[in-house]
């Protein structure tokens, strides 16, 4: 079975910088409390590395509640961004703040701040419960509306003449996001469009779909917590109409997935450590030729 290494894949610049910053802080303040407020990036292997570097995790999804578990010292805000309310609450507790927000997410925060500051109501496309939308929505809650699907757009009702803009979570499927934007433009022709899918996400999705046309299936290496990893599976299945499998490690590979297949593509989410992807590739290349049509699963 031929393994096709899809490029680009794996770590993006925001993840690299967030991990570097967190490890640096953990090393410099060894012996002092250093806490991640939520998962720095959505990958359990990275979380374990950071804990070994002296950075403790508070996994509470509600960042404000999570502050109750920070016992002084330094708090690190994750790559997904943080709401102004949580920042102010952390300062009021006398914590030292380290902001590891991805620069692409920061750009979206700045955009929403600028739009709402001049009276524009923002329709934000994102996934409820994900930390990135939570951070963005906290900038101006009364001037921001979250939607997850094109169907939700049909339920929106704004006063005539209200200035509107749309932007989005950086890690979504670029195709799904465009479909929602198209519906918004159809309903509100005057709306300002700001598609904020980050370049790293776009490039990985485009590469996965392009490669999927020339392979029998695609393996995505990444955590199930990772929005961008799950989107890679989605776009391969929906845009290339090929099977795709999300695995956290090589141990999760199932030989029966590849029965009768000759070419398998491998990509990885933007928060996936390189060594995990290498192990998956090696495991696929080592699979016996007995994984043929009709062969028994191991």
Kindly list the catalytic residues.
132
Integer Cα distance of 177 and 188 in angstroms? 16
Tokens 């995990």 correspond to what residue? 276
Token code pair at residue 184: 């918004």
Token code pair at residue 120: 């524009």
All residues at 6 or more sequence positions from 4 whose CB lies less than 8 Å from its CB, including other chains: 211, 214, 215, 263, 264, 265, 266
Contacts within 8 Å (CB) and 24+ apart, 155-163: 156/123, 156/187, 156/188, 158/121, 158/188, 162/121, 163/119, 163/120, 163/121, 163/190, 163/192
Which residues are paired to 193 by β-bridges? 166
With beta carbons less than 8 A apart as the criterion, state whether 261 and 218 touch.
no
With beta carbons less than 8 A apart as the criterion, state whether 103 and 146 touch.
no
């Amino acid at each position: 079975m031929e393994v096709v290494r899809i490029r680009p894949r794996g770590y993006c610049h925001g993840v690299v910088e967030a991990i570097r910053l967190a490890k640096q802080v953990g090393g410099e303040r060894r012996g002092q409390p250093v806490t991640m407020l939520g998962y720095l990036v959505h990958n359990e292997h990275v979380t374990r590395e950071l804990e070994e570097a002296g950075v403790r995790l508070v996994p509470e999804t509600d960042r404000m509640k999570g502050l109750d578990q920070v016992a002084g010292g330094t708090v690190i805000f994750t790559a997904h961004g943080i709401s102004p309310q949580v920042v102010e609450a952390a300062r009021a507790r006398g914590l030292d703040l380290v902001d590891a927000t991805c620069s692409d997410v920061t750009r979206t925060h700045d955009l929403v701040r600028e739009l709402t500051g001049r009276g524009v109501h923002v329709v934000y496309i994102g996934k409820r419960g994900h930390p990135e939308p939570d951070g963005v929505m906290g900038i101006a809650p009364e001037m921001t509306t979250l939607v997850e699907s094109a169907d939700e757009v049909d339920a929106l009702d704004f006063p005539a003449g209200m200035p509107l803009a749309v932007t989005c979570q950086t890690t979504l499927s670029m195709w799904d996001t465009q479909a929602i934007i198209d519906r918004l433009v159809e309903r509100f022709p005057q709306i300002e469009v700001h598609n904020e899918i980050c370049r790293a996400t776009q490039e990985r999705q485009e590469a996965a779909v392009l490669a999927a046309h020339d392979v029998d299936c695609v393996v995505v290496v990444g955590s199930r917590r990772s929005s961008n990893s799950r989107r890679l599976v989605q776009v391969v299945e929906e845009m290339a109409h090929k099977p795709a499998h999300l695995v956290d490690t090589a141990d999760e590979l199932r030989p029966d997935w590849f029965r009768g297949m000759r070419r398998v593509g491998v990509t990885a989410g933007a928060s996936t450590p390189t060594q995990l992807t290498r192990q998956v590739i090696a495991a696929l290349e080592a699979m016996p030729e007995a994984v043929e049509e009709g062969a028994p699963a191991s």
